[in-house]
Amino acid sequence: MYSYFIPSEFVRSVFHITPEFLKDKGIKGIITDLDNTLVEWDRPDATPMLIEWFKGMKEAGIQVTIVSNNNEMRVRSFADPLGIPFIFKARKPFGKAFRRALQIMSVKKAEVVVIGDQLLTDVFGGNRQKLHTILVIPVAKSDGFVTKFNRMVERRIFRYLDKKGQVTWEEEA
């Protein structure tokens, strides 16, 4: 059961994920979380650096779809100006939104990575769908209400995995 909470990889931020790195793995699509993965949960727009990251992925032929548990207004106002497809109220870790994102991009499971900052939603959901998962360090130190609860549970999971000698957050942080 705990194996579902172990990401395929840890990186500090999305900026450590380059088009070259993904192309070498045969990746053609990214399913990414929004809040605290791409930008702070309370930041309305993409940063200039993030806009360049999206541009680099597009130029490399790598599609991006945002899959967020947040509401339509939040996700649409972020994604529409960038021309990025999105799924809101995704109900991660349930699989429907992940499968829908694969359809939107017309890619196979082996051609996709899931990027997120939470074990309980992004990693668990991606792993359950047998997708390659990449856990990033949250971009903000603060969280919304529901995420605060998830972080408490995550800390317990990390402690358990650490006791068992599994990969821990600190190894990459």
Strand order in the sheet with 9-11: 9-11, 132-136, 112-116, 29-32, 63-67, 86-87
Asked if residue 61 has pLDDT above 90, the reply is yes
Q: Which residues pair with 124 in a beta bridge?
A: none
Structural domains for the chain: 2-171 (3.40.50.1000)
Asked if 87 and 68 count as a contact pair (C-beta separation under 8 A), the reply is yes
Element (H, E) at 150: helix 145-163
The closest of 28, 38, 47, 91 to 66, measured between CA atoms, is 38
Within 8 A by CB and 6+ apart from 146, the residues are none
pLDDT in tens, 92-138: 999 999 999 999 999 999 999 999 999 999 999 999 999 999 999 99
Burial 94-104 (b: 16+ CB within 10 A, else e): eeebbebbbeb
Place of tokens 């930008």: 39
pTM: 0.87
* Amino acid in the structure at residue 8: S
The pair of structure tokens assigned to 9 is 């990889």
Average pLDDT over residues 19-33: 97
Give the burial class of 43: count Cβ atoms within 10 A of its Cβ; 0-12 exposed, 13-18 middle, 19 or more buried.
middle
- Between 149 and 69, where is the model more confident? 69
